[in-house]
């Protein structure tokens, strides 16, 4: 931190900042982020200001967050009435820098910016305009996606467009418990997409897509209820991928979606809400489901 502050002209030396931080009893709470500081400050003053939550001008978008939640974060950060940023996003989506392959979307896409509000921390002051904040996030997404050659990856995986890679990555982020799960989860997606598979017959059957369609985040939803919803994002009702991403995936999830495992995984379940177990057949999966239900009965 000290070196960065010195380079930006905030403090005279990194050593002075380190010394001032060491003399503060609260220095262990200093976090990496974006701060509103002045140039040519004393090291002690810089530390004190950085420890004040009000000095932080950063807006953090967590991995996997849906656009509707990002819009609320922006509204709160800019002290705007709820719904303001969402309205701007709807009206200005075509003017925020989306790549051509993202704008040529299915007309059933719920939100064209979904998957393009890149998870990161952004410098956002209260005077910023929602459109500028959204553009900054979209530009960062495009910048990161361009590094991965999504078009080539999509062709290799048999997907129709780079947008479908981001859609897969959003599913991986939503369903995976840990980053170690991502490549296996991506394989589950691709295996289930195979129209000839005798396990799910082309249906993904992901609860996360049903929740996205309903704009909720519920668990333990009765299958009888899920299967009745006629909605393009409901992968229990329709075969194939949903029309677009269901959240803003991490870059690790995108990379995993471009490089899935090839072990034959079709099913997954979390028995402890911390780790995921993958299986290749419905019979194996059912054994784990029974184990899960027994654990729940025991409390």
Task: Indicate whether 295 pLDDT > 60.
Answer: yes
The answer to whether 155 and 94 are in contact (CB under 8 A) is no
More confident residue, 104 or 146: 146
CA distance 174 to 242: 13
Task: Indicate whether 55 pLDDT > 60.
Answer: no
Q: Alpha helix locations (H) across 78-129?
A: 84-92, 100-103
> What average pLDDT is seen over the chain?
89
Tell me whether residue 10 is exposed, middle or buried, using C-beta atoms within 10 angstroms of its C-beta: 0 to 12, 13 to 18, 19 or more. buried
How is residue 29 annotated by DSSP?
G
CA distance 190 to 168: 9
Q: Three-state SS string across 48-83, please?
A: HHHCCHHHECEEECCCCCCHHHHHHHHHHHCCCCCC
Task: Give the per-residue pLDDT at 66.
Answer: 98
Q: Which two tokens stand for residue 284?
A: 């194996």
Q: What is the CA angle 113-91-146, rounded to 5?
A: 30
Q: How many Cα atoms within 13 Å fall on the side-chain side of residue 180?
A: 5
The mean per-residue pLDDT over the stretch 6-24 comes to 76
pLDDT tier, 34 (very low <50, low <70, confident <90, very high otherwise): low
pLDDT tier, 49 (very low <50, low <70, confident <90, very high otherwise): low
The strand pairing partners of 121, in sequence order, are 60
- Reported as a single tens digit per residue, the pLDDT across 154-188 is 999 999 999 999 999 999 999 998 888 999 999 99
Instruction: Confirm whether pTM is higher than 0.95.
Output: no
Q: Which of 169, 163, 165, 157 has the alpha carbon at shortest distance from 105? A: 163
The answer to whether 117 and 138 are in contact (CB under 8 A) is yes
């Amino acid at each position: 931190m000290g070196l960065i502050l010195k380079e930006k002209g905030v403090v005279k030396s990194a050593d002075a900042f380190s010394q001032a931080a060491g003399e503060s009893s609260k220095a262990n709470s200093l976090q990496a982020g974006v701060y509103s500081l002045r140039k040519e400050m004393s090291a002690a003053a810089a530390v004190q200001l950085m420890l004040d939550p009000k000095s932080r001008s950063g807006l953090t978008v967590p991995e996997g967050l849906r656009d509707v939640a990002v819009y609320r974060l922006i509204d709160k950060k800019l002290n705007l009435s709820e719904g303001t940023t969402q309205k701007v996003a709807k009206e200005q989506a075509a003017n925020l820098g989306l790549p051509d392959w993202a704008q040529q979307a299915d007309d059933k896409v719920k939100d064209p910016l979904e998957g393009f509000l890149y998870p990161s921390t952004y410098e956002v002051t209260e005077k910023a305009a929602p459109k500028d904040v959204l553009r900054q996030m979209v530009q960062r997404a495009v910048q990161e996606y361009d590094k991965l050659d999504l078009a080539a990856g999509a062709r290799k995986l048999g997907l129709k467009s780079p947008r479908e890679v981001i859609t897969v990555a959003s599913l991986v982020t939503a369903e995976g418990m840990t980053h170690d799960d991502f490549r296996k989860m991506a394989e589950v997606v691709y295996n289930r997409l195979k129209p000839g598979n005798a396990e799910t017959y082309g249906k993904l059957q992901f609860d996360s897509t049903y929740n996205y369609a309903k704009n909720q985040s519920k668990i333990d939803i009765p299958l009888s209820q899920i299967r009745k919803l006629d909605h393009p994002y409901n992968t229990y009702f329709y075969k194939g991928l949903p029309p677009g991403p269901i959240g803003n995936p991490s870059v690790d999830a995108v990379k995993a979606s471009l490089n899935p495992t090839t072990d034959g995984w079709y099913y997954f379940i979390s028995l402890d809400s911390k780790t995921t177990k993958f299986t290749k057949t419905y019979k194996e999966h059912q054994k784990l489901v029974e184990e899960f239900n027994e654990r729940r009965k025991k409390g």
